[in-house]
Amino acid sequence: MKKNLKHIFVALLTALFFSAFIYFEYFGLTNRLVNSIFGLLSLYMLLHVSKKSVLFAGFFIGIFWFYWVGYSFKYTGVGYLSPFVTLGFGIIYMLFFGVLAFFNNPFLRATILFALSFVELFNFNWLQIQAIFTDSYIGLHSWQLALILFVLAFNLKKFYFLPLLLLVFTLNINPPQPKKAPLNIKLVQTDIKQNIKWSREELPKTIKLGFNEINKAIKQNYDVIVFPESFYPFYMNKHPRFLEKLLQLSKYITIITGSLYSKNHNHYNVSYILENGKYSIAKKFVLVPFGEYVPLPKFARDYINNTFFAGQADFKPANKPTDFYIKGVKFRNAICYEATSKEIYKGDVKFVIAMSNNAWFAPSIEPTLQKILMRYYGRKNNVTIYHSANYKFSGVVF
């Protein structure tokens, strides 16, 4: 019994080190040196602790990172599943990290852990191992992670901690400063609760809020105004009179807003870009697994979609990421989950306009983790992200 408690305690400590950077950020306590030390300690422990501790550590990591995922289920009428979803994430990541438990050799574990950094379970990519070093003195590239794992695989006491000298090659003391687009961009943050966001009673307030923000931005001489994901919670292309009002205002300011788009019986989560009396759309390319689509075979997908998501997980994706120009400046579109996906940052990308609706998971660490992951991808790819969100964290992310 005492041995099992020891394994659990060591596992809990490992998971706390691995997850601390999220909660430091959440409480406004981020420190680059502490994040560096805790990140290195967590990886060292994953390579050297007992097999049982590895399994428990994976379970705790799954809980600490993703306890909030099931929060959104209450909006589709199956809120009772929320604790089971949380437990499921614990079990999934217990198995994910549990692969390390097949081996005692730290170098084999290091090799496997490096390989796991490229694995995305069910196309869900929010557990990025390198993200633990986002706000630290450690670099974010894969070769740096490989070197870190190689160094930490040594028995450091046996080698008088000399292998740690190699970590100097992984340092990133002075990260590049963010570059900003040569435009005056207003990023709107709203706080519309998810339980009323789609109600008819709330819609007039949302429309009034939108016009007020646009007119205010025009008076303040902004070039662009960006609203959150699904700010207008309807198929905007099906409401030409309303769309025409926005198009008239777009002669004075570029308007970018989240809404829905319907064509040929297909539904899309999109950004509307309205400029100079005309508009275009940018469809979402990377959909949320189990939120906007179910990444399983058709027979299972249809059953889960109809049983647990009220038939709502049926959005269609774009064929590729969308780029658009505002006054000659190129931006890439990203809608919520996309902004934390590597696919969005491929190619010639300098600026991203991202929009989110984080009210699905309020209150939780989800917006904090999302911001860290956007910062991770932004810094790794030298990209500046302009993020407008409902609930939390509108702002420039780098």
Condensed to tens digits (0 to 9), the pLDDT of residues 250-261 reads 999 999 999 999
Whether the Cβ atoms of residue 146 and residue 112 lie closer than 8 Å to each other: no
pLDDT number for residue 305: 62
How many residues in total does the chain contain?
398
Identify which of 166, 175, 135, 172 has the alpha carbon closest to the alpha carbon of residue 148: 166
* 15, 64 contact by CB (below 8 A): yes
Q: Hey, how many other C-beta atoms are within 10 angstroms of the C-beta on 277?
A: 12
Residue 268 buriedness (CB in 10 A; 0-12 / 13-18 / 19+): buried
Contact by Cβ (8 Å): 257, 232: yes
Q: Is-cis flag, bond preceding 367, omega within 30?
A: no
Q: Is the distance from CB of 325 to CB of 270 less than 8 angstroms? A: no
Average pLDDT over residues 180-196: 96
What percentage of the chain has pLDDT greater than the value 70? 95
- 281-321: pLDDT as tens digits: 999 998 888 777 776 666 566 666 666 655 555 688 899 99
Q: Under DSSP, is residue 382 helix (H, G, I), strand (E, B) or coil?
A: coil
Residue 121 is predicted with a pLDDT of: 87
- Which single residue is written with the structure tokens 């788009």? 261
Instruction: Given the residues 284, 371, 380, 392, select the one marked as catalytic.
Output: 284
Active site residue 229: yes
Residue 101, C-beta contacts closer than 8 angstroms, at least 6 positions apart: 51, 52, 54, 55
pLDDT at 298: 65
Between 293 and 277, the more confident residue is 277
Q: What is the mean pLDDT of residues 117-146?
A: 95
pLDDT exceeds cutoff 90 at 110: yes
Task: Check the CA dihedral 252-255-259-265 and report its sign.
Answer: positive
From the list 166, 272, 283, 284, the residue with the least C-alpha distance to 226 is 272
Active site residue 284: yes
Distance CA 368, CA 25 (A): 7
* CA distances (Å), origin 391, targets 183, 218, 361, 363, 374: 25, 24, 9, 9, 17
Encode pLDDT of 10-37 as tens digits: 999 999 999 999 999 999 999 999 999 9
71-108 pLDDT, tens per residue? 998 988 888 999 999 999 999 999 999 999 999 999 99
Q: Given pLDDT bands bounded at 50, 70 and 90, which one contains residue 126?
A: very high
Burial 126-162 (b: 16+ CB within 10 A, else e): bbbbbbbbbbbbbbbeeebbbbbbbbbbbeeeeeeee
Contact between 321 and 102 under an 8 Å Cβ cutoff? The reply is: no
Top-confidence residue, 305 or 383: 383
Q: Dihedral, CA atoms, 63, 72, 77, 62, nearest 10 degrees?
A: -10
159 pLDDT band, cuts 50/70/90, is confident
Q: What is the pLDDT of residue 62?
A: 98
> Which residue out of 275, 283, 292, 336 is catalytically annotated?
336
* CA 143 – CA 97 distance, rounded (Å): 20
How far apart, in whole angstroms, are the C-alpha atoms of residue 339 and residue 345? 9
Query: How many CB atoms sit inside 10 A of residue 329's CB?
Result: 15
Contacts within 8 Å (CB) and 24+ apart, 240-243:
242/207, 243/279
pLDDT band at 175 (very low <50, low <70, confident <90, very high): confident
Rounded to the nearest integer, the mean pLDDT of the chain is: 93
Q: Of residues 25, 186, 197, 229, which has the active-site annotation?
A: 229
